[in-house]
Amino acid sequence: MATSLIIGCGDTGVRVAARAVAAGEEVVGVVRSVASAARVRAVGARALTLDLDGDLSALPACDRLFYFAPPPREGETDTRMATALAALPSLPEYVVYISTSGVYGDCGGAWATETQPLRPGTARARRRVDAERQVRALRGDAIVLRAPGIYGPDRLPVDRLRAGEPILDDAAGGWSNRVHIDDLAEYAWQAGRTRWAHGVYNACDGQPTRLGIFYDTLADMLGLERPARIGWDEAETRFSAMRLSFLRESRRLSNARLVADSGIEPHFTDFRDGLAASLRAQSAD
């Protein structure tokens, strides 16, 4: 029986865990909280509660390693990943890491490809670049999935819309890229059990849009007012530093390489279908 180890078994990790359990594997999800542990056990996996900044000697050997935990909030390197990889009892056969499209930095609205030089514009993104290098050093055939904004059930800006918060005007902002969480989980699971031709992939729906279209569509579905638009001057007084850092970067992501190598089209190629499915799932909960 193969063993899947999921470090950082949150929303995406639980979905991967459910797939591995359904495939008859032993699954261990590493979490930090009691609530997260309960979610892992609910899909039939074993929960291992650990502090990634502490002692990780309890990490088990595994055939498939899925690393989904975020880096520390400070520094230029992912020290958590370094500690975790060093603690593994043996080398996994498959390694999958979910990174971020932020490693490309600002592309001025141009298409960002997996082969272009990385120009991370923030310390947060530089920590992700370091993490990518670490997993590729562990295994040369490790798979890195560069994800943009992840959306899905309970991962929508519903509260912002209900509060009447404005958004940056599209004329002042850049492009928006996204991936539905179920599609991301499916890609991660498949990457952890098959060999693909390349090591790095943009994990997105391949349909970049302006941010306003996403918010307006969601508002219409909820029967709410569409958000007002503001310019940069006002945005800098209302938005957090982190939110502004995302808005300052503009790029468009294609998933052509991922679809070609995996042979899997994302289920939610149109974000409107993804939004509708997410809202239905939230209503069912």
Mean pLDDT of the chain: 96
Residue 143, helix vs strand vs coil:
strand
Per-residue model confidence (pLDDT) at position 111: 97
**268 occurs within a structural domain:** yes
Residue 65, helix vs strand vs coil:
strand
Residue 230, helix vs strand vs coil:
strand
**282 occurs within a structural domain:** no
% the chain with pLDDT above 70: 100
pLDDT tens track for 102-130:
999 999 999 999 999 999 999 999 999 99
In the structure, what pLDDT confidence band is assigned to residue 285 with cuts at 50, 70 and 90?
A: confident
Question: What is the rounded distance in angstroms from the CA atom of residue 160 to the CA atom of residue 59?
Answer: 39
CB 273 within 8 A of CB 213: no
**22 occurs within a structural domain:** yes
C-alpha dihedral sign at 113, 124, 79, 25: negative
CB 98 within 8 A of CB 147: yes
**259 occurs within a structural domain:** yes
Show the tokens assigned to 138.
Answer: 């562990």
pLDDT tens track for 185-222:
999 999 999 999 999 999 999 999 999 999 999 999 99
pLDDT tens track for 250-282:
999 999 999 999 999 999 999 999 999 999 999
Closest by CA position to 156, among listed 25, 45, 282, 247: 282
CB 176 within 8 A of CB 150: no
CA distances from 90 to 13, 64, 76, 98, 139 (A): 21, 11, 27, 21, 12
Predicted model pTM:
0.96
Contacts with 267 (C-beta within 8 Å, 6 or more apart), sequence order:
180, 182, 183, 186
DSSP for 25-50 reads: -EEEEEESSHHHHHHHHHTTPEEEE-
Tell me the residue range of the domain where 67 lies: 3-154+178-206+252-272
Question: What is the rounded distance in angstroms from the CA atom of residue 138 to the CA atom of residue 116?
Answer: 22
**247 occurs within a structural domain:** no
In the structure, what pLDDT confidence band is assigned to residue 36 with cuts at 50, 70 and 90?
A: very high
**167 occurs within a structural domain:** no
**46 occurs within a structural domain:** yes
Q: How many domains does the chain have?
A: 1
% the chain with pLDDT above 90: 96
Show the tokens assigned to 98.
Answer: 């979910």
In the structure, what pLDDT confidence band is assigned to residue 1 with cuts at 50, 70 and 90?
A: confident
Per-residue model confidence (pLDDT) at position 284: 79
Q: At what angle do helices 123-138 and 79-87 cross, to 10 degrees?
A: 20
Residue 66, helix vs strand vs coil:
strand
* 112: amino acid identity, one letter: A
**146 occurs within a structural domain:** yes
In the structure, what pLDDT confidence band is assigned to residue 25 with cuts at 50, 70 and 90?
A: very high
Q: Domain holding 67: CATH number?
A: 3.40.50.720
Per-residue model confidence (pLDDT) at position 283: 82
Mark out the alpha helices in the chain (DSSP H runs): 11-22, 34-42, 79-87, 123-138, 158-162, 181-191, 211-222, 232-238, 241-247, 256-262, 271-284
For range 18-31, the mean pLDDT: 98
